[in-house]
Amino acid sequence: MRLGIHSKSLVCLTAMFDSLCKYLVEKFSDDFATWLLGEPISLTELSPKELSLEPIRADALILRQSEKLVLQVEFQTQPDPKIPFRMTDYRLRVYRRFPDKKMRQVVIYLKKTNSEEVYKSKFELEETIHRFQVIRLWEQPTEIFLQTPALLPFAVLSNTESKTSTLQEVATRINNINDKKIQSDVAASAFILAGLVLKQEEIQRLLRRDIMRDSVTYQLIKEEGAEENTRKIAINMLQEGISIELVAKTTGLTVEEVQQLQSTQVDNQAE
């Protein structure tokens, strides 16, 4: 049975947020280690292929490792009753591959919900009990996310009295980032994640236009999420100055495909 437009849109949005969060963790792994582990442990990528079985959800799975530790992070926009089993399954897979390494597993829920599923932090089956950490962003102090560029995009999703004021503070801090590539990537990430809780008009008003120009990117994703829109979304992101790497991560296109789109756009402008 084919998915309806609404269902397809939801699937597309979920995949987009998963990819964006995964990109941020991979790019700023030390900052996320400081937040989630309490110290800036240097973490490298751990591919799900290194485990003995195929991953359950490779798009949402983030695995990083150090010499003595494996960190698993999963971002969720919607409640998922399968999370407890998934955490248990991956803990056993990692143990099979790295029996001497400790493991920290963290599920981060992005959008506020009243579902009981987001409060479940253990799996129980007869005498088997497995626990993992759950973070509900809407309960977290905003100050946590204002300390480093990597966490700025999540500030608007935190426990704040005014999401508009928080995004304004985020925009100010983004303006002070000296590295232009990091500045652009963080601004784009903040723009997309803010779409979970704020209207597009507010986001465009608060984020600097020379960093994030008036954009239809989020609107395009929100409207249908149809596959034929993917390249159009990518083109708009490129026109906004967003890096090829982030465009690829967010849309699901390969780096080569995004580079080809960029080349085509340059050729069209030259004509």
pLDDT tens column, 216-260: 344 444 454 445 567 777 787 777 677 788 777 777 778 888 888
User: How large is the average pLDDT for residues 125-149?
Assistant: 96
Which of the two residues, 52 and 171, has the higher pLDDT score?
Answer: 171
pLDDT for 164 equals 94
Residue 133 vs residues 20, 52, 107, 121, 179: alpha-carbon distances, Å = 21, 24, 6, 6, 33
Percent of the chain with pLDDT over 90: 45
Per-residue pLDDT at 219? 44
What is the per-residue pLDDT for 183?
85
| Residue 61 in this model has a pLDDT that exceeds 60 | yes
Nearest Cα neighbor of 105 from 37, 42, 194 is: 37
Provide the terminal-to-terminal Cα distance of the chain, rounded to the nearest Å.
44
Tokens found for residue 254: 């390969």
How far is Cα of residue 200 from the mean position of the Cα atoms in its chain? 19
CA 239 vs CA 29, 31, 217, 223, 242: distances in Å: 28, 29, 10, 20, 7
Of 114-118, 185-189, 217-221, which gets the smallest average pLDDT?
217-221
pLDDT of residue 215: 35
Q: Three-class SS of residue 100? A: coil
Average per-residue pLDDT for the chain: 81
